[in-house]
Amino acid sequence: MTAPSLPRLFVRAALTARGRGGELPGTRLARARVTVDPARLADYSAVCGYPLTGALPVTFPHLLAFPLQTALMTERAFPLALPGLVHVRQQVSVVRPIGADEALDVEVWAERLSSHRRGATVDLCAAVSAGGAEVWRGRSTYLARGATVPDGAPEADVDVPVGALDRTSARWRVPADAGRRYARVSGDVNPIHLSALSARLFGFPRAIAHGMWVEARALAALAGRLPDALTVDVAFRKPLLLPSTVDLATARAGEGWDLAVRSRDTEHLIGTVRPT
């Protein structure tokens, strides 16, 4: 299948938000032999701070999976309404560096509908393969505030334990248009990221940065110091309101890293990077 149109999917999501519930469907969506547009890769790298190396940044395959995941979430059988979903955790496993010119097969599915103290969570999973072998896997956990789940659903697990992070590695000034800039390269045009006006419709005082941009920016700061095969696990804590000034804190953890993105006394992201 071709890549779904994200703007159309977000419109569809808004029109079909009411009346959802029940169990997760077993649907899987896939695309075969997906290639990366070099211009898009260059733009993404510039927005997130990654160097151009001939290999895909750790977080880039998420962009290939996200349209399929969004299509899955807008299907009428999906139990949670897409508008207002908040990204609360992201796990990524990289088997080996992925060449920017490789043809990739992408498959997505949903699992682990769980109860959360503020509503319900669901995991949107993605597997990316090259030449018949898996090279990347992602798990995106989303929170639907106020939603309910069927009886017997497990408790959500959205915590990522990290060690002490007392050293500031970098300070970023994140501009008011950061959400719009990332939306242009990622296709994620969720209104909570685009302007204060559209974000207020979903209970946010100002637009908030995409969690995947915050994660990508933090990992880009460690470029050249990450293992080839790795697992990244991050929790998105408090929304990063735009504009903001934030600090990146990092600490070595064996051959990996612990990291956090903070502004004043507020944690926006904590996470770990481990070799695999």
Taking only the tens place, the pLDDT of each residue in 215-228 is: 999 999 999 999 99
19 located within any domain: yes
Measured CA to CA, the distance from residue 85 to residue 76 in angstroms comes to 16
Q: Write out pLDDT tens, residues 14-63.
A: 777 777 778 888 999 999 999 999 999 999 999 999 999 999 999 999 99
Residue found by looking up tokens 């995991």 in the block: 123
Rounded mean pLDDT, 175-197? 93
91 located within any domain: yes
Q: pTM of the predicted model, to two decimals?
A: 0.92
Closest CA to 4 of 58, 84, 67, 75: 67
206 located within any domain: yes
| 90 three-class SS | strand
What pLDDT, on a 0 to 100 scale, did the predictor assign at position 153?
Answer: 87
1 located within any domain: no
What pLDDT, on a 0 to 100 scale, did the predictor assign at position 3?
Answer: 77
262 located within any domain: yes
Measured CA to CA, the distance from residue 90 to residue 71 in angstroms comes to 19
With cut-offs at 50, 70 and 90, classify the pLDDT of residue 107.
Answer: very high
**pLDDT at position 152 over 80:** yes
DSSP string, 117-176: TTEEEEEEEEEEEETTEEEEEEEEEEEEET----TTPPBP-----------EEEEEEE-T
DSSP 241: B
Q: Decide if 107 contacts 41 (C-beta within 8 A).
A: no
Number of domains in the chain: 1
Cis-peptide into 243, omega within 30 deg: yes
Closest CA to 244 of 215, 212, 206, 270: 206
CATH of the domain at 244: 3.10.129.10
CA dihedral (222, 187, 194, 179) in degrees, to 10, reads 10
Measured CA to CA, the distance from residue 17 to residue 97 in angstroms comes to 38
166 located within any domain: yes
Q: Decide if 64 contacts 187 (C-beta within 8 A).
A: no
Segments forming the whole domain that contains residue 43: 6-275
Q: What are 164's two structure tokens?
A: 């002490």
What pLDDT, on a 0 to 100 scale, did the predictor assign at position 118?
Answer: 87
CA dihedral (198, 203, 209, 210) in degrees, to 10, reads -90
Q: What mean pLDDT is reported for the chain?
A: 93
**pLDDT at position 184 over 90:** yes
Measured CA to CA, the distance from residue 191 to residue 142 in angstroms comes to 16
**pLDDT at position 13 over 80:** no
Amino acid of residue 273? V
Closest CA to 208 of 237, 239, 231, 187: 239
What pLDDT, on a 0 to 100 scale, did the predictor assign at position 62?
Answer: 98
**pLDDT at position 145 over 80:** yes
What pLDDT, on a 0 to 100 scale, did the predictor assign at position 1?
Answer: 64
173 located within any domain: yes
Main-chain phi, psi angles of 176, to 5 degrees: -65, -25
Neighbours of 49 (CB within 10 A): 17
Q: Write out pLDDT tens, residues 115-141.
A: 998 899 999 999 999 999 999 999 999
Q: What is the distance of C-alpha 26 from the center of its chain?
A: 22
